Structures are given as structure tokens and as C-alpha cells.
Amino acid sequence: MSEALEVQTRETLGKRANRRLRDSGKLPAVLYGHQEPAVSLSLPADKFQLVLRHGTKLLDLSGAASGQALLQHLHWDPFGKEVLHVDLLRVSAGDRVYVEVPIEMRGESPGGLNGGIVELLMHSVEIEVSPAAIPDRLHIHIGNLQIGDTLTLADIADLPEGATYLVETDEAVVHCTAPVGDDAEEGGAEGATAEPEVIAKKRAEEEEAEKKAEKK
């Protein structure tokens, strides 16, 4: 999935120029790749925020640059709230690119409904894929996940055809663990009562010893 984005040439460079650009509602960007010269561009900040919200990684550029570009890197402010600069990589249909894709769970786990704890262990995964097939996200279905079960990357059903993981497919993605039982609590209660009983017994023995000493 791709989104259209119109870009303009960025005439002035530097921190001050970039700050003025952001104040005007645009973002500084650079487009590079395919052994072509890098081009300094500006993007409409409001439309780019929609791109981020949709999780889109592939852009159809128009205006000062045309063709498809991969959202390669975002430079954030120190607080991680505002995008300061965007790096774009030129791509074509025959390319293979590396992208990190989020993973989401779908369905309800029977183990979770029975009190188990369902935990997503892998929130995203890096894949190699053609630009046209880049997914917004991958999904793992947990409708059959019982207590004690684990699902791996091999259980993800919507990996695009031709795409490959950059890690082994037996990597755990989600599991359902047993809830903490009452045994520990009961053991704790027994331990709490056992200690006073020992103390009371010891005191009784000491009192008995004192009485014998007095009689002597």
C-alpha cells in the first residue's frame, strides 16, 4: 500500500532554514538512492502526519520529484514527539527492500478467557520484500491459543508472497502462560502461622525451665 505525496524543492538549507520551514507547516526531507544525486525536498507536514498515522511506508511522489520512495528514516526531536527531518529512498518495482513491520494479535485466546496471561513477545519484525508488497502490519491469530501454548513467526498467515523474515521463523511471537495460583498465597499464610507457633513453643519451654530452676 502506498500514499500519494506532493513534494517541493528545498532551496535553502541549514538548521535555521529548516526551522522556518517547519514553522510554515512543512518538513525538510532528502531523497536519495539508485545512484542518483540526493535531492533536498519539503513535504506538507499535515499530510505526512496522515502517512504516519496509517503506518504507510511507500510513497508515490509528485511535484519536484516523481516515482516511488520508501520512508527510510525519521529524525525526531529529543522528546520523540515531533518529526524534524525525513529520509526517503528511491525504489522501483524490481527492488527488494528491508522494512520493519508491526505485529498485531487478532481474535480471543481461549487460554486468556480461562484466566491465562496472553503476552505479545514480538511487537514488530524486519522483513525483506518488494516495494509494492510492503504490508502496513502483520497479524497473528490467537483464536486457538491455550494456556501453555506459544505461537511463532511461522504462524503468521498474512506475510506477503515472496517476502522473507530476517530472523528464524521459530521465533516466539505470543504466548499464554498460566495465572499465578493460590498455592503461594496459601503457603504464605501457613508460613505466617507457623512462625508464631514456634515462638510460643519456645517461650513455653523457657518458662518451664525457669520454674524448674526456681524449685531448685
Confidence class for position 199, pLDDT limits 50, 70, 90:
low
pLDDT per position as a tens digit, 85-134: 999 999 987 899 999 999 999 999 999 999 999 999 999 999 999 998 99
What end-to-end distance do the CA atoms of the chain give, in Å? 98
| Higher-pLDDT residue of 200, 99 | 99
Mean pLDDT calculated for residue range 70-88: 90
Report yes or no: 11 and 21 within 8 Å, Cβ to Cβ: no
Average of per-residue pLDDT across 144-167: 96
pTM value is: 0.70
Q: Residue 200's pLDDT is what? A: 54
Alpha carbon distance 213, 216 (integer Å): 5
pLDDT of residue 205: 64
Average pLDDT over residues 42-55: 89
Q: Is residue 1 scored above 80 in pLDDT?
A: no
pLDDT at 213 over 60: no
Strand order, beta sheet including 150-152: 117-120, 172-177, 150-152
Q: CB–CB of 64/8 below 8 Å?
A: yes
Q: Which of 42-56, 99-113, 200-214 bottoms out in mean pLDDT, i.e. has the lowest?
A: 200-214
Write down the pLDDT at residue 189: 45
**Which residue would you say has higher pLDDT here, 191 or 93?**
93
pLDDT given for residue 121 in this prediction: 97
